[in-house]
Copies of this chain bind each other. A is one copy, B any other.
Amino acid sequence: MNKLNICIAGIGNVGSELIKSIEENKSYYEKKSSFQFNIIGVSAKNKNKNRNVDIKKYRWFDDPIEMSKLNDCNVIVELIGQEKGISYDLIESALNNKKHVVTGNKALIANYGKELFKLAEKNSLALSFEAAVAGGIPIIKTIKNNINLNKISKISGILNGTTNYILSKMEEDNLSFDEVLEIAKEKGFTSDHESKLDIGGYDAAHKLTILSTLGFGSVLNFNNNFIDGISNVKIEDINFAKQLGYRIKLISETSIVNEKIFNFTSPKLIDYSNPLANVGDALNAINIETDHLDNLFLEGQGAGGKPTASSVLSDLYDISQNITFDNLGFKVNDLKEFNKISSDNIVNRYYVRIMTEDKPGVLSSITNLFSDTGISVEKILQLPENVKLDKPIPIIITTHKIQKEILTNVINKLEKLKFVKEKITLLPIHDN
């Protein structure tokens, strides 16, 4: 029986489940792959941490780099997850020592992947990363292998489970962002450290960077992202959006507009008819639009030990079978250096919430200012039932497509008017 000798660096949630799966399904994987999945080394920060697998039976390495130098090691599984540091050094050392690599490290790939993919290609090695985007959803292989003669026009998705959980829970239980964030931390969905990446939109943007390279052959470049997080999303806006037929979701979208790259992560209003609007809990989901497919939609668990281990396993399987798709679906030298779209060229429909005094003439002053500036109003929502004496009342306006700068100018003018009582809220509306 052929052996696939595996070394695993990082034994948290995903690493433990990976080890468990390999232990429990030994004969099944052998039958499927004609290979014995054989763990020959493990490494982690803490050897004696309580885990749901017994790692004592495996050869232990304090320094994971040592594993990458073992003669009989075929593949390094990197699950440490540092943006650079030891994760980068390990992968680099593995590739230099002619070992295949499987990783779930989106931040590293998005920021420093370029050189590593070059190295992998030079040495004809796999650098596989199904686990890096959307956990258990096989989105990398779907784009790279299953629909790879399609010309992709747009990929948009919900790529971060924690923020989707928070937004879903806010709506469901009518709670504020801060209240739900506390619950998410209690449930272990996000730590203080992670929550910055999650809530700030950076984690989603890391993943979007990778999808953008797979979809359009763009050089991996995290700096091409526009990123806005969810910490300013108010429960009022979720509720008003609902009345207009929208949910608010953290949407990441990538496309090529006039030969420039458009990578955009932001909370957005999204129409109920878009399947992304129905993605609840901590799930992830992706829409793919191509020349042949109006829309291909995938939904599943975007994190967690077992689902993510499933993606690592599928990469290990491909390595065992020597399946030779290019790691990125393109030769590294064929990747194109796209310029980032300038913000002038980003147009969106917008949701605008203005808190004003409840007095005659206010609405017409606002709409006049909009029309004088060439901003076309789509809908206006006034909610008289919410009126309390002397309290500001909300005026909700949705616009047709407009450049953000033009809208921001009007907003700035409005905020200087006496009857506008609070900072105005602005959210883009997702184009279906």
Chain A 296-333 near chain B by CB (<8 Å), digits 1 or 0? 11111100001101100110110001011100000000
Closest to A275 in B: B299
Any B CB within 8 A of the CB of A416: no
1/0 per position for A119-148, CB-CB distance to B under 8 A? 000000000000000001110011001111
Query: Is there contact, CB below 8 Å, between B297 and A298?
Result: yes
28 contacts between A and B (CB under 8 A): A21-B291, A21-B292, A28-B149, A29-B149, A136-B296, A137-B296, A138-B147, A138-B296, A141-B141, A141-B145, A142-B146, A146-B146, A147-B314, A149-B313, A149-B314, A149-B317, A150-B313, A278-B278, A290-B310, A293-B300, A293-B301, A293-B306, A293-B310, A297-B297, A297-B299, A297-B300, A299-B299, A323-B323
Chain B residue nearest to A308 (CB atoms) is: B292
| Complex contact B317–A292 (CB within 8 A) | no
Main secondary structure of the interface of A (DSSP, over half): mixed
Given contacts A138-B142, A141-B146, A151-B25, contact A294 B301 (CB under 8 A): yes
Closest CB pairs A-B (n = 7): A138-B146, A292-B310, A297-B299, A296-B300, A141-B146, A149-B313, A292-B306
Contacts of A325 in B (CB 8 A): 321
Q: List the B side residues contacting A324 at CB < 8 Å.
A: 321
User: Does A295 make an interface contact (CB < 8 A)?
Assistant: yes
> Measured between alpha carbons, how far is A321 from B316 in the docked complex, in Å?
20
Q: Which of A24-59 contact B (CB under 8 A)?
A: 25, 28-29, 32-33
CB of A152 to closest CB in B, whole Å: 11
Please report the C-alpha to C-alpha distance between residue A313 and residue B147 in the assembled complex, in whole angstroms.
8
Which A residues form the contact surface with B (CB < 8 A)?
A: 21, 25, 28-29, 32-33, 136-138, 141-142, 145-151, 273, 275, 278, 280, 290-301, 306-307, 309-310, 313-314, 316-317, 321, 323-325
Other-chain contact of A150, B298, B301, B310 (Cβ < 8 Å): B310
Copies of the chain in the assembly? 2
Closest Cβ–Cβ distance, residue A143 to chain B (whole Å): 10
In the complex, the chain B residue whose C-beta lies closest to that of A138 is: B146
Closest Cβ of chain B: how far from A118's Cβ, in Å?
Answer: 20
Q: Which residue on chain B has the smallest CB distance to residue A136?
A: B293
* Complexed CA–CA distance, A280 and B33 (Å): 38
Task: List the B side residues contacting A137 at CB < 8 Å.
Answer: 296
Point out the residues of chain B lying under 8 angstroms from A293, CB to CB.
136, 300-301, 306-307, 310
Report B-chain residues with C-beta under 8 Å of the C-beta of A296. Answer: 136-138, 298-300
Please state if A151 and B297 are interface contacts (CB–CB under 8 Å): no
User: Which residue on B lies nearest to A150, using beta carbons?
Assistant: B310
Specify which chain B residues have a CB less than 8 angstroms from the CB of A28 in the assembled complex: 149, 151
- Taking a contact as CB atoms under 8 Å apart, the answer to whether B309 and A292 are in contact is yes
A292's nearest neighbour on chain B, judged by CB, is B310
A252 to B150, CA, bound (A): 28
- The docked-state distance in angstroms from the alpha carbon of A33 to that of B325 is 10
Residues of chain B within 8 A (CB-CB) of A299 are 275, 295-299
Q: Tell me the bound Cα distance from A148 to B320 in angstroms.
A: 13
Give bound CA distance, A142 to B323, whole Å: 15
Interface centre among A141, A297, A324 (most CB of B within 10 A): A297
CB distance from A384 to the nearest CB of B (A): 30
Query: Which of B148, B149, B150, B310 sits near A147, CB closer than 8 Å?
Result: B310
Q: A299-B297, A317-B148 are in contact. Are A307 and B292 (CB under 8 A)?
A: yes
B contact residues around A138 at 8 Å (CB):
142, 146-147, 296
Residue numbers in B under 8 Å from A275 (CB-CB): 275, 278, 299
Q: Which residues of B are found within 8 Å of A291, using beta-carbon distances?
A: 21, 306
